[in-house]
Amino acid sequence: MVNTKVSLSGLILDNPVLCASGTFGYGYEFAELYDINCLGSFSFKGTTKEPRFGNPTPRIAECPMGMINSVGLQNPGVEKVISEELPRLRRVFHKPVIANIGGFTFEEYTEVASLLDKEEGVGLLEINISCPNVHGGGMGFGTSAQTAAEVTRRVKAVTKKPVYIKLTPNVTDIVSIAKACEDAGADGISMINTLLGMRIDLKRKKPIIANKMGGFSGPAIFPVALRMIYQVYEAVKIPIIGMGGVTSAEDVIEMMLAGASAVQIGAQNLVNPYAAKEIVEALPSVMEKYGIENLASIIGGAHNG
């Protein structure tokens, strides 16, 4: 009998399969299709202090082996997430959930984190530092090691829950940013967020997405994500949640060999709403195929020898 259990900063998961923020809503939408308790956990929709309608439409552009989106953190705001979304979620999901937090100032990150820290059903905080820093010229918090570290320090000061920093790949050196987050007290790293991409409508001769550019995700980015996880694993001692183009149980194992302790399924949920369930179900047989008895034992295995 194979063992699929893994641990994230003391949080024991039945398996390493998670769903990525922004692709799984608040969970109950997918609970209408299958029992989502089969998942290790999931990261709910990115939550900000105030309600956000998001970016203008169109927000989605399809492309070979992936998609581009510019949704813009549409969410009802942290107060409604706590008063409405989490109670509704608890009726269908009975495991600790991952709270994804977005912000446009340091103060917003800390305020949202301190509120979600009080929620018993939240197992860990995932801090999305790809948001534009409105006081820093609009560049993402995650594009600078200094600002990434500062967000980490401030959030750690207001919460007792494990803090995982979600890194953007749109940087020259993701390793130095991951290391800065670790040095500032991060309990783990989530990576990677979407790459920056665009599509142009040939008939209109204009960008398809209203914001011109958006986040590129899907199977095409898997090799980039894998490479970055491999590099960061060699530089830090804290756990990594891997994501980026994962579509199969084989991909999950590959990411774990590169250094991920757990793996999030993102865009594939939008292609096939049963994707995460099917990956969970396939994991034991794929483990047996490759002679893996205990998933936790293979984390970072590709670095040996």
pLDDT computed for residue 130 by the predictor = 86
Q: Three-class SS string for 210-268?
A: CCCCEEEECHHHHHHHHHHHHHHHHHCCCCEEEECCCCCHHHHHHHHHHCCCEEEECCH
- Report if residue 209 sits inside a domain: no
- Report if residue 280 sits inside a domain: yes
Number of domains into which the chain is organized: 1
Please tell me which residue, 305 or 131, carries the higher pLDDT value: 131
- Report if residue 206 sits inside a domain: no
Q: What is the pTM of this model?
A: 0.96
Taking only the tens place, the pLDDT of each residue in 219-268 is 999 999 999 999 999 999 999 999 999 999 999 999 999 999 999 999 99
Which CATH number goes with the domain that contains 288? Answer: 3.20.20.70
Catalytic residues: 131
Q: How confident is the model at residue 278 (pLDDT cuts 50, 70, 90)?
A: very high
pLDDT for residue 305 is more than 80: no
- Report if residue 295 sits inside a domain: yes
d(CA 138, CA 105): 10
Find out whether 136 and 99 touch, Cβ atoms under 8 Å. no
Element (H, E) at 154: helix 145-156
pLDDT for residue 139 is more than 80: no
Q: How confident is the model at residue 134 (pLDDT cuts 50, 70, 90)?
A: low
- Report if residue 142 sits inside a domain: yes
Q: What is the mean pLDDT of residues 94-105?
A: 96
d(CA 228, CA 203): 37
- Report if residue 46 sits inside a domain: yes
Range of the domain at 19: 6-54+72-195+215-303
**What are residue 152's phi and psi, to 5 degrees?**
-60, -50
pLDDT computed for residue 3 by the predictor = 98
pLDDT computed for residue 136 by the predictor = 65
- Report if residue 201 sits inside a domain: no
Find out whether 56 and 81 touch, Cβ atoms under 8 Å. no
- Report if residue 208 sits inside a domain: no
